[in-house]
Chain A
Amino acid sequence: MTETIGIQLVSYSGAMGLILLGIFALVNYEHLIRVIFGLILLEAGVNLFLITLAYRADAVAPIMIEGQTAAMVDPIPHALVLTAIVIGVAVQALALALVIKTYQKYGTLNTRILAQRIAEESGTRMIEGIPTEVKKV
């Protein structure tokens, strides 16, 4: 029983660490590839958190074996996370394809420079990092 709570605490702190690292990367970095790394870490952390919630004391994996009577862990979060991992990879591949296209068009992946170039292209002006409409006199 104490081992169960220990495993839960340890994996919860692991999930928390992954989520925090992912959010730190999303907030902090300016390079788009690093932002995608942060997204992947965040997603892994959320998946680990859901699986930790499904874990029970003295329970086994949800697979029926002849003559086994022990309690089983909750199967619903497992199915959810299985779906989430595959969709996560699809979303990540789409994001990387857009990154490739962005690099081919603008030649940089730094978000600040990208924002400036896009602003120049569309005839807007940057005010504190936000593109703003320029009034024509």
Chain B
Amino acid sequence: MQANTVLSGPAAAPDPDPAEMHDAGPPPAPVPRRRRILPKGWAGQAGLMALSLLAGLAIWQMGSSQGWNLYVNFANIPSPGQVGTSMLHNLGASEFYVHLGVSIQRVLVSFALAVIVGVPVGLLMARSRVFRAMAMPYIEILRPIPAVAWIPLAILMWPTEESSIVFITFLGAVFPIVLNTLHGARQTPEVLVRAALSLGASRLDVFRHVILPAALPSVSAGLAVGMGVAWFSLLAGEIISGQYGIGYFTWDAYSMVRTPDIVLGMLAIGLLGTASTAAVNALTAPLLKWQKRTR
């Protein structure tokens, strides 16, 4: 009974008396219609978003200008105005773009490597029991190790700082890609594989025309997650080793007590993460258009 109530939670807003739910007799009460708070459509949404952001900024401004110290200390936090000034300053200087460029390049290289390795490994694991048995232990042991924990070993293993940062970033991206590809490929309906074989497809053709497309919705989810984790790992790598990159910029700002730059670095990281995930989704969308037409 308890489970039932929980499952139907949001729809059946006022919880009906549990005893009443035992009776199959009376028809279910109509779901109460919610009153519309927002004006219909896009404009209302955008307006509310802007309003919410403004409110956040106002609280931030008040907190830092009045130096609130409510266990969490706002006194050392730069105000939105200071961050804005820092942003204008940095956007006018070429060095900031070098930091951004280096980070973007690292993520692109690492992510590309993760796709090149991760997708085939995932597909092979899905279709070959031998390969799956061989690869699974590595994945299960290595996957839970966070990127930060790899840093010392990566520095010892790789000849250059650059390669160790790329390695750490690659590790972050590759596991979600492998696991999502594996999951997607294993869901390929066997009848489609049979159909392709009966049409003269080779094993390789089956991979290309059946298993990969069947896995694609899940692969693209894996790519989006992998991209997020790639940024996360990159930042860890850049903070600890490196001379360039937005992570380095942020950490350097902390060391040099340029507090507005810390916040600017964080905002840039957030923006880049969002933009790159959106880019991944935009790039995979054409491959999934059959799915949209299907629904």
Q: Do A and B come from one complex?
A: no
Residues of A in contact with B (beta carbons under 8 Å apart): none
